[in-house]
């Protein structure tokens, strides 16, 4: 142990060398907090180059107390022998006096040292000597040592990390955790290039996925008019040359250049493509050394290269070599059953006939996973019409995609092409093709609002479709169910949807099952069965999240429905969270029902009195429909209805009648048509707004007659939520007319609202901004700015009101939590607030007090 002492008197305090922080530093407190948490013996930051590992460690160590010593070793990814490491550590500690101690002596010193030491191994090599790895494991096994080891690396060290994890002595952060979050990304862009446009930011985010170095380098080029001019790309290529390619062998580099042209890749596919070169083994080595290959599935089988890196490497192959690669990959991918990837490669190789041939093999439910809907629509732009219309199967696939995208004129032309294959020589084939045509034509007619023609086609198709064409049968069931919802036949709609979901389950098609269930959830909401709707929604979210595929389209739709449920219950913040989670999924999948998300977001803004923002979201919804080439009949009336709701909340009643009457004339004119099938209660909601506008503009009797007729219609159709709204509106008119029975009518309406859990209806229509206009004296429940309960100490929020109602039903805290989807602790918090506001101490007192105040009946 020559040259080593057992006392820390030789240590001069914190090390003089810690890398300087960059001038444009984006501090990431969430990661600092993770490192500052429980004092693990080992903290490992493992990610590719440029994820901010060194900067993070440097920023973290700035917070270490001055009395604690820091030993920072920059290893630059180069192999290091154990004696070299020992020499550098002892020198940094000031313990070596002209000679180098051995590893065991240093271990003994660390074990007896009584003060904390931070040992940093920055850019630890991918291939370290076994002797060095063994010594580090001995260091981590010391029982009484106060050494904290921090390691940044690009390949997971070959240490016994599982043992440390079991002992609670390991913290590991990988690329997914070290990547910038979207908020951090936005802050960094504002810091470096604040003039960057929204579209350029979105493109940069998609390219980099939070890769710190990629963002900085691509923004380093000259920005012109808020749009990157590409001059950052040479910097990125230079960075990759030094930080990635120089550390790879020749075989690994050659494989990497080829992988840059694939949308996704696996070890098995590499083996088939480059069997002689050992492609699978080379791919695994690239994974180990963190070559910007990101997993795209939970099993860790499929990967994709980070888009920014792929783009920077795509110039490494010559045109003939790239063409040969694409054609070979087509054959391998199609043989393995990966037809969409094979189609992409064929199109890139300018082989449209090959691409069309592969499209024949795509399943119809394939459309609704990953980004396949967007992908197919893109292929239609690249392939000549004669190829797309060359077989009935291709026509059916394209027609479904166009129908699903609300591009009705194009789908009509596409469906008409099936007539070119009729009649078939064989009777059975002729009947089958005709039935498939009727399924598509019936769906088209339903979406255009032609109920009778749609029913006729769909029912005829169902009676002739063979079992193997179950996708077409499912389309018919779904169309018939939506027509039934829109025409007030909710029992029939319920039965049709049950038949559809059973069919999807028997075929083992999760995508179709969840799509049908979104209609079932909408029907439950329409009827006012909000608790059942919530339960079914949560069941389907679990199904989708447990699946092996990316189900962006399904998740987007489910999250928008979740947002609507929160809004109906008065949970504005929860609604916003659900919507913001849903928008990326809907945008990713190119789903036209992103309209639903924008409508709910606009209503949410309106509830908060943010009317300008509500209109912004309506305009964005319309823009999305235009960009997606959706037919106006699928969305315009829904946007008009929401714009009227915004006007109503502002008290601009005189502007409503022309819009409402125009919409009424469209729906109930000489040739009546259904509303958009995704908004079955739109005509009735239009009637409600028109009645309220009539009342507020002086036509009291006409308004009341309209509302009473509407109430009967909603009751007959089982539109539970809307019926409650109409009841509240009738109570409002009664108060305005000074009728004595109005108070009882209001209490009855309020109790109905509480029974279905639609507490947002109690916030009413008018807002404080409309108080300047002459208004009749109304109950407090009809002023959006007023408390729900007037008088005494009660000023219950919507959530507290729902808890109170369930308390009165005798439910336990756990049962209330399960019903409202909140924790038991949250229920207890609400209960305490209810007691305080009602001036009581116990549950029974709260219930009695609420009944005395008229809060509960």
Sign of CA dihedral 206, 208, 211, 217: negative
pLDDT band per the 50, 70, 90 thresholds, residue 11: very low
pLDDT band per the 50, 70, 90 thresholds, residue 96: low
Give alpha helix (H) positions in 774-821: 798-808, 813-820
Number of helices (H) and strands (E), helices first, in the chain?
42, 9
Mean pLDDT computed over 820-833: 84
Domains 387-591 and 787-857 in one fold: no
Q: Greater confidence, 731 or 720?
A: 720
Q: Greater confidence, 725 or 505?
A: 505
User: What is the value of pTM for the model shown?
Assistant: 0.76
Residue with tokens 């007729």: 709
Residue with tokens 């803004």: 605
**Length of the chain as a residue count:** 857
* pLDDT, tens only, 406-419: 999 999 999 999 98
Pairwise CA distance, residues 353 & 348, whole Å: 12
pLDDT in the model for residue 286: 92
pLDDT in the model for residue 739: 65
Q: Token pair of 804, please? A: 């109170």
Give yes or no for residue 290 having a pLDDT over 90: no
Give yes or no for residue 307 having a pLDDT over 50: yes
CATH topology of domain 8-178: Rossmann fold (3.40.50)
Give yes or no for residue 545 having a pLDDT over 50: yes
The answer to whether the beta carbons of residues 767 and 609 sit under 8 Å apart is yes
* pLDDT, tens only, 357-375: 999 888 878 888 888 999 9
Q: Token pair of 20, please? A: 């300087």
Beta partners for 73?
121
Sequential DSSP letters for 471-538:
HHHHHHHHHHHHHHHHTT-HHHHHHHHHHHHHHHHHTT-HHHHHHHHHHHHHHHHHHT-HHHHHHHHH
Backbone angles phi, psi at 11, to 5 degrees: -85, 130
As a whole number, the mean pLDDT across the chain is 86
Long-range pairs for 415-423: beta carbons < 8 A, 24 or more residues apart: 415/440, 415/441, 415/444, 417/389, 418/392, 420/389, 421/392
Neighbouring CB atoms inside 10 A of 417's CB total: 18
Q: Residue ranges of the domains in the chain?
A: 8-178, 387-591, 787-857
pLDDT in the model for residue 774: 30
Listed range (266-270, 493-497, 683-687) with the worst mean pLDDT: 266-270
pLDDT in the model for residue 230: 58
Listed range (102-116, 272-286, 513-527, 613-627) with the worst mean pLDDT: 102-116
Pairwise CA distance, residues 262 & 348, whole Å: 11
For residue 695, what are the contacts with CB-CB under 8 A and spacing of at least 6? 703, 704, 732, 733, 736
pLDDT band per the 50, 70, 90 thresholds, residue 288: confident
User: Where are any strands of DSSP class E within 377-480?
Assistant: none
Give burial (CB, 10 Å; 0-12/13-18/19+) of 679. Answer: buried
pLDDT in the model for residue 786: 28
Domain spanning 787-857, CATH class: mainly alpha
Most confident of 369-378, 434-443, 814-823: 434-443
Sequential DSSP letters for 635-699:
THHHHHHHHHHHHHHHT-GGGHHHHHHHHHHHHHSSS--PPPTT-TTHHHHHHHHHHHHHHHTT-
Q: Greater confidence, 775 or 287?
A: 287
Mean pLDDT computed over 458-472: 96
Give yes or no for residue 57 having a pLDDT over 70: yes
Mean pLDDT computed over 187-206: 88
* pLDDT, tens only, 227-258: 555 568 899 999 999 999 998 889 999 999 99
pLDDT band per the 50, 70, 90 thresholds, residue 171: very high
Angle, CA of 75, 76 and 78, to the nearest 5°: 80
Residues above pLDDT 90, as percent of the chain:
50
The answer to whether the beta carbons of residues 509 and 366 sit under 8 Å apart is no
Task: Assign domain 387-591 to its CATH architecture.
Answer: Alpha Horseshoe (1.25)
């Amino acid at each position: 142990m020559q040259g080593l002492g057992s006392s820390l008197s030789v240590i001069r305090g914190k090390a003089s060398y810690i890398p300087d922080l960059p001038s444009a530093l984006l501090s990431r407190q969430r990661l600092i907090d993770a490192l500052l948490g429980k004092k693990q013996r080992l903290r490992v930051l493992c990610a590719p180059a440029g994820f901010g590992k060194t900067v993070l460690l440097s920023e973290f160590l700035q917070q270490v107390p001055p009395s604690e010593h820091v030993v920072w070793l920059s290893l630059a990814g180069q192999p290091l022998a154990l004696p070299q490491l020992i020499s550098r550590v002892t020198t940094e500690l000031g313990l070596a006096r002209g000679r180098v101690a051995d590893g065991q002596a240093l271990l003994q010193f660390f074990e007896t040292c009584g003060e904390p030491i931070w040992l940093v191994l920055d850019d630890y090599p991918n291939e370290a000597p076994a002797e060095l790895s063994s010594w580090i494991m001995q260091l981590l096994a010391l029982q009484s040592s106060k050494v904290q080891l921090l390691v940044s690396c690009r390949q997971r060290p070959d240490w016994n990390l599982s043992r440390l994890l079991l002992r609670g002595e390991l913290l590991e952060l990988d690329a997914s955790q070290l990547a910038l979050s979207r908020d951090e990304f936005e802050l960094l862009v504002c810091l470096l290039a604040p003039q960057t446009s929204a579209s350029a930011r979105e493109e940069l985010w998609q390219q980099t996925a939070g890769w710190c170095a990629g963002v900085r380098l691509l923004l380093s080029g000259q920005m012109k008019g808020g749009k990157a001019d590409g001059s950052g790309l040479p910097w990125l290529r230079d960075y990759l040359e030094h930080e990635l390619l120089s550390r790879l062998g020749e075989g690994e580099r050659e494989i990497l250049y080829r992988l840059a042209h694939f949308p996704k890749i696996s070890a098995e596919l590499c083996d088939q493509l480059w069997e002689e070169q050992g492609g699978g083994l080379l791919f695994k080595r690239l994974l180990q050394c963190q070559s910007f290959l990101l997993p795209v599935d939970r099993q860790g089988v499929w990967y994709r290269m980070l888009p920014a890196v792929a783009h920077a490497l795509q110039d490494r192959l010559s045109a003939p070599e790239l063409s040969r690669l694409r054609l070979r990959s087509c054959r391998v991918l199609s043989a393995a059953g990966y037809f969409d990837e094979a189609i992409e490669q064929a199109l890139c190789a300018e082989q449209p006939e090959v691409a069309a041939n592969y499209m024949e093999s795509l399943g119809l439910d394939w459309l609704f996973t990953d980004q396949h809907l967007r992908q197919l629509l893109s292929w239609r732009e690249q392939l000549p019409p004669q190829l797309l219309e060359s077989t009935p199967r291709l026509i059916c696939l394209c027609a479904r995609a166009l129908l699903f995208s609300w591009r009705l004129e194009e789908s009509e032309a596409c469906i008409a092409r099936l007539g070119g294959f009729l009649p078939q020589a064989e009777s059975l084939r002729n009947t089958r093709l005709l039935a498939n045509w009727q399924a598509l034509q019936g769906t088209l007619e339903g979406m255009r609002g032609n109920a009778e023609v749609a029913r006729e086609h769909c029912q005829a198709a169902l009676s002739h479709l063979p079992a193997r064409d179950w996708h077409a049968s499912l389309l018919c069931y779904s169309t018939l169910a939506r027509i039934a919802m829109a025409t007030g036949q909710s029992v029939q709609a319920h039965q049709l949807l049950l038949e559809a979901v059973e069919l999807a389950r028997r075929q083992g098609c999760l995508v179709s099952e969840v799509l049908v269930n979104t209609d079932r959830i909408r029907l439950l909401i329409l009827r006012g069965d909000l608790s059942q709707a919530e339960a079914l929604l949560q069941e389907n979210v679990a199904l989708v999240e447990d699946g092996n595929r990316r189900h962006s389209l399904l998740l987007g739709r489910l999250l928008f429905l979740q947002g609507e449920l929160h809004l109906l219950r008065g949970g504005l913040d929860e609604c916003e969270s659900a919507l913001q989670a849903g928008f990326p999924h809907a945008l990713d999948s190119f789903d036209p029902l992103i309209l639903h998300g924008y409508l709910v977001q606009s209503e949410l803004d309106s509830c908060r009195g943010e009317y300008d923002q509500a209109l912004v979201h309506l305009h964005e919804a319309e823009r999305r429909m235009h960009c997606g080439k959706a037919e106006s009949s699928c969305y315009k009336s829904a946007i008009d209805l929401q714009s009227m709701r915004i006007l109503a909340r502002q008290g601009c009643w005189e502007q409503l009648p022309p819009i409402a009457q125009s919409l009424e004339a469209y729906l109930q004119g000489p040739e009546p048509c259904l509303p958009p099938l995704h908004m079955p209660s739109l005509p009735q909601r239009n009637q409600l707004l028109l009645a309220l506008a009539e009342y507020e503009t002086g036509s009291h009797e006409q308004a009341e007659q309209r509302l009473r007729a509407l109430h009967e219609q909603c009751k007959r159709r089982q539109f539970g939520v809307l019926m409650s709204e109409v009841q509240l509106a009738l109570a409002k008119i009664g108060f305005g007319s000074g009728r004595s029975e109005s108070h009882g009518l209001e209490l009855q309406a309020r109790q109905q609202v509480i029974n279905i859990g639609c507490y947002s209806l109690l916030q009413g229509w008018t807002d404080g901004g409309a108080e300047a206009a002459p208004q009749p004296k109304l109950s407090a429940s009809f002023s959006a700015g007023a408390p729900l309960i007037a008088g005494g100490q009660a000023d219950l929020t919507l959530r507290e009101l729902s808890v109170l109602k369930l308390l009165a039903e005798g439910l336990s805290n756990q049962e209330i939590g399960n019903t409202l989807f909140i924790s038991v602790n949250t229920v207890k918090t609400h209960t305490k607030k209810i007691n305080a506001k009602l001036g009581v101490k116990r549950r029974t007192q709260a219930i009695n007090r609420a009944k005395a105040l008229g809060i509960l009946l």
